[in-house]
Amino acid sequence: TVQPEWWKSAVVYQVYPRSFSDSNGDGIGDIRGIINRLDHLEQLGIDVIWLSPVYRSPHADAGYDISDYEAIDPLFGDLDDIDELIADLHRRGMRLVMDLVVNHTSDEHPWFLESRSSTTNPKRDWYWWRDPRPGTAPGAPGAEPTNWESFFSGPTWTFDENTGQYYLHLFAPKQPDLNWENPEVRQAVYAMMRRWLDRGIDGFRMDVINLISKHPELPDAEPHPITGRGDGFPFYAHGPRLHEYLQEMRREVFDGRDALLTVGEMPGVSTKEALLTTDPTRRELNMVFQFEHVGLDHGTSKFDPRPLAPGALADSLTKWQDALGTTGWNSLYLSNHDQPRAVSRFGNDTQYWRESATALATMLHLQRGTPYVYQGEEIGMTNGHFPDLADFRDLESLNFYHQSSQLGLLAENVLDGMRRNGRDNARTPVQWNAEHAAGFTSGTPWIGVNPNHSWLNAEAQYQDASSIYNYYRQLIALRHERDVVALGTFTRVDIGEPAVLAFERAHSADLLMVAVNLSDEERFIRFPTRWAHSTLILSNYPDTAEFVLRPWEAHVLTRR
């Protein structure tokens, strides 16, 4: 029989380097800081680190704006540090996946500097240059070639005086979109990827990879009554050549190498597109990050959060389990550097902090797919503390705030939305101990440390058998010990309580039943009779009560 791919039984841990661990006291995390903390990850049992960008960058979007794909930003260290990290990880039996941000570069990347220098430059066509809209004054509002709203507020086009044309940027003006229609662009990207793999890395997390193929005609969107701009998503996402590009990348970069981990970040992806991308017979990617469950609480925008209906999260995740089934493959995540903290968003970070953090982890890690742990999640870190506007750092939040009065929104409401759903929540320093700056830095951290580090920190959890950290260790160990966790089928079991997610996993004769109460209330439950004689193998409460799951209680049962 064929061995299943290694990444099916792996657990990935995302490191956001800026906020993980600072080794030199400048207040910004760095690669040496990661090397110094590898015991924490090895003890946890994780198999892979996904490292957010550490490449040379002007940091307009915290490193997701890259000016040199093959150099390390001096803020984070140098190539020797990366080589040491790779060697150290491999020595410990762990792997390294790097972030690949190739929908766009920085406007300071030499490719773009050349491209913008003249309309006849050989790299002109490496980016999306277009004339102003006919009959308008170039550079004036409304003269943009399309009316699309960018992810970070404002138009997706910036006028360049020098050549009288606009360039496209789906994100910030400092993040011009590469033109993947041009085969030279694709070959340059593939060559760069091959050099990283030759260096010894084990895969890529591909930033907004579903945006690389655009609708070639660039049609206008339905305009918003105030801004005149609209959502161009149908025209710049999942374009006609996406799957062709992914298959080409597979051939040009991955073929002939040991199995790698490839995960595509795909905001707005449908189950149908995700299945096309992850069906192994189509030879594209191993898995994708879908966004449905992290959009459930969005109102008119992500900064207008709405309460979640009980069961909404469970229903959405179940839908994805069923849709990808045994053909595709899911990546399982509740948080990352772009999302608020999972325990604050989906759990109860006060009264049931420990219970809800462990319940959510149980629900996620025992589904079919590859789970991702975002740094700090394993100790139950909560949303940050941002009393004033000046406490925020992220351009997405700040840009939105500055254009919000135009939209008739109240500043205080927008600030509240930023506190709830802003990306800075995930970017406060990892809380290592109760000391200065939570042990993250000896200097002044680039963003405020959460004051709750006095009690919420890694050191306090290592020795405590009932801690969130030690619960994650058990969950991860379970995946490594029993094939059913990675490879079993998933079947939801309706136990008549929408706030309880119960499901069976089956792999040959090995069976698991997982039941998680995703609410603050006690819920009565009855398992199907076939589970009458079973063994409880994991729970997040110290004892069990019959027929009832207490708030955020999780049970894992097995039978043969």
Which residues of the shown chain bind Ca ion in the complex (CB under 5 A)?
22, 24, 26, 28, 30
Q: Which of 91, 96, 158 minimizes the C-alpha distance to 130?
A: 158
CB of 17 to Ca ion, least distance (A): 9
3-state DSSP assignment of residue 208? coil
Helix or strand (DSSP H, E) at 537: strand 535-539
Considering the complex, state which of residue 25 and residue 299 has its C-beta at the smaller distance from ligand TEU: 299
Catalytic residue among 30, 65, 177, 207: 207
Query: Which of 151, 180 has the CB closer to ligand TEU?
Result: 151
What is d(CA 171, CA 101) in angstroms, rounded to the nearest whole number? Answer: 12
Nearer to ligand TEU, 30 or 149 (CB): 149
Per DSSP, the three-state class of 65 is coil
Among 22, 30, 47, 61, binds ligand TEU (CB under 6 A): 61
Among 44, 54, 102, 208, binds ligand TEU (CB under 6 A): 208
Binding-site member from 171, 204, 329, 386 for ligand TEU (CB under 6 A): 171
Q: Closest separation between CB of residue 44 and ligand TEU, Å?
A: 23
Residue 208 interacts with which of ligand TEU, Ca ion, none, CB < 5 to 8 Å by class: ligand TEU
CA-to-CA distance for 190 and 108, rounded, in angstroms?
20
DSSP assignment string, 56-119 = E---TTTTSS-SEEEEE-TTT--HHHHHHHHHHHHHTT-EEEEEE--SB--TTSHHHHHHHH-T
Query: Rounded distance, CA 365 to CA 333, Å?
Result: 9
- 331-332/370-374 β-pairing: parallel
Phi, psi of 506 (to 5 degrees): -140, 130
Q: Nearest residue to ligand TEU, using CB?
A: 64
Q: Quick check: 101 binds ligand TEU (CB under 6 A)?
A: yes
**Residue appearing with tokens 């994708």:** 288
Shortest distance (Å) from residue 64 CB to ligand TEU: 3
User: Contact 105/66 with Cβ under 8 angstroms?
Assistant: yes
207 has catalytic annotation: yes
**Binding track, positions 222-261, relative to ligand TEU; x by CB under 6 A:** ----------------------------------------
Q: How far is the CB of 229 from ligand TEU (least distance, A)?
A: 15
Partner whose footprint covers residue 64, from Ca ion, ligand TEU, none (CB < 5 to 8 Å by kind): ligand TEU
What is the per-residue binding string for ligand TEU in 468-507, x denoting contact by CB under 6 A? ----------------------------------------
Tell me the C-alpha distance between 213 and 401, whole Å.
Answer: 30
CA distances from 218 to 131, 224, 235, 377 (A): 13, 18, 6, 40
Question: Contact with ligand TEU (CB under 6 A): which of 50, 55, 64, 128?
Answer: 64
68 is catalytic: no
Q: In one letter, which amino acid is 479?
A: R
Task: Name which of residues 368 to 397 contact ligand TEU (CB under 6 A).
Answer: 396
Are residues 346 and 334 in contact, defined by beta-carbon separation less than 8 angstroms?
yes
Q: Which of residues 331-350 bind ligand TEU (CB under 6 A)?
A: 337-338
Min dist. Cβ of residue 472 to ligand TEU (A): 23
Which residue from 151, 157, 159, 320 is in contact with ligand TEU, where contact means CB under 6 A?
151
Instruction: Give residue for tokens 């924490």.
Output: 40
Q: How many Cβ atoms from other residues are within 10 Å of residue 11's Cβ? A: 23
How many Å apart are CA 534 and CA 504, to the nearest integer? 13
Q: Smallest distance from the beta carbon of 155 to Ca ion, in angstroms?
A: 35
Q: Which does 24 bind (CB under 5 to 8 A by kind): Ca ion, ligand TEU, none?
A: Ca ion
Query: Minimum CB separation from Ca ion for residue 157, in Å?
Result: 36
Q: Which of 169, 270, 276, 153 is nearest to 214 (CA)?
A: 169
Q: How far apart are CA 378 and CA 372, in angstroms?
A: 11
Buried b (16+ CB within 10 A) or exposed e, 230-267: eebbebbbbbeebbebbebbeeebbeeeeebbbbbbbb
C-beta separation of 57 from 109 below 8 A: no
Q: Could you say which of 61, 265, 297, 378 is catalytic?
A: 265
Least CB distance to Ca ion at residue 30 (A):
4
**Count of residues in contact with ligand TEU, rule CB under 6 A:** 14
CB of 22 or CB of 61, closer to Ca ion: 22
Of 302, 345, 368, 482, the one binding ligand TEU by CB under 6 A: 302
- Closer CB to ligand TEU, residue 236 or residue 432? 236
CA distance 515 to 525: 9
**Residues 341, 382 contacting (CB under 8 angstroms):** yes
Binding mask 417-446 for ligand TEU (x = CB under 6 A): ------x-----------------------
* Residues recognised as catalytic: 207, 265
Which residues make up the interface to ligand TEU (CB under 6 A)? Answer: 61, 64, 101, 151, 171, 207-208, 265, 267, 302, 337-338, 396, 423
